[in-house]
Amino acid sequence: MIRDADILAGLLDTIQRFVRERLVPAEDHVAASDCIPEEIVRDMQEMGLFGMTIPEAYGGLGLTMEEEVKVAIELGQTSPAFRSLVGTNNGIGSLGIILSGTEAQKERYLPRLASGALIASFALTEPDAGSDAASPRATARWSSDHWVLNGTKRFITNAPLAGLFTVFARTSSGISAFLVERSSPGLSIGPADRKMGQQGTHTADVMLEECKVPADALLGQEGQGFKLAMRTLDRGRLHIAAVCTGIAIRVIRDALAYAAQRRQFGKPIAAFQLVQAMLADSQTEAYAAHAMVLDAARRRDEGDDVVLEAACCKLFASEALGRIVDRAVQIHGGAGYMREYAVERLYRDARLYRIYEGTSQIQQLVIAREMIGREEAHACI
């Protein structure tokens, strides 16, 4: 587990250079081909990016939440495809195993996830259970000496690449979680989704038709799957808020550079106060998002309950990013609508962050619920 400030600074410096020198130059290729070059995947494996948050005992770097968000902010400053590829292995795809897995499950899966030899996926969302994640229709029944799963999961990140799925299904005891390997009979993957943005990231349906998995595929206790999913999503929301912050930093940097070199009426447009106002508002929101994410991450590392804070971060950072990238397109003017400039692609990429890992409206409900619950608890003291 990284604790030495110099080691962390070295890691962040390495990632900054990797983003600047390897990932940013590859963005156009990834967007056009809808895939990440194999040599970059190997580089990411060698750097340990697939196992950043997995404990050192299982081959990972064992980053704390604060350290993780600092890395996510750096990775956010390039195409979302790169961060998405490693994201599930570090967050929702592995955290359930770390929190509730047996030692046998940890030893079987975590080292391969940490090395990038195995890609994980988190199968919670369904066609009729998106924001209403507590109402899955997927089922799991016990049959003699194994479980049988049926149902369809939708918009599942990295499904076309994944070798391991954390699947949530309803059992007689409530919602339960299962570790389902890609080779399991009865599991199939639909065609990759065609999306507005985020080319190079891959989502698809996961179909379970009388899918048989062994008894030891159950993750944690039967009926406790929803609680596990929510604990996992809290960390995921902080991670996504950090990614949004990184994208905002990149977009502001690009907008400022363009405003400094684009001339109108005999001077750079950065000299005009209305352009300056857009830059200033964007910088203020990015700074606020950065401060919020770091504060919430430190609180989580200290053992605090950060359900409310994580939802605040995800809501604010994703909504702020939407405003920031919109202003950036406006500063670029007509050029911002053209694919020759990265801001056009980042504008489309950014829209998703207000939807997944819980929509902005769900974050508002979570925040209000937590506020009311804390007030009631305080009143009873």
The catalytic site residues sit at 357
Q: How far apart are CA 82 and CA 76, in angstroms?
A: 9
* Sign of torsion over alpha carbons 16, 240, 348, 256: negative
Total residues belonging to the chain: 381
Which residue, chain included where needed, has tokens 């993750």? 219
Strand, helix or coil at 190?
A: coil
The encoded tokens of residue 4 equal 């030495």
CA distance 319 to 316: 5
What are 174's strand-pairing partners? 171
Bridging pattern class, strands 187-189 and 203-214: antiparallel
What is the phi-psi region of residue 312: left when phi exceeds 0, alpha when psi lies from -120 to 50, beta otherwise? alpha
* Burial class of residue 39 (count of CB atoms within 10 Å of its CB; 0-12, 13-18, 19+): exposed
- DSSP secondary structure, 123-182, as one string: E--BTTBSS-TT----EEEEETTEEEEEEEEEEEETTTT-SEEEEEEEETTEEEEEEEET
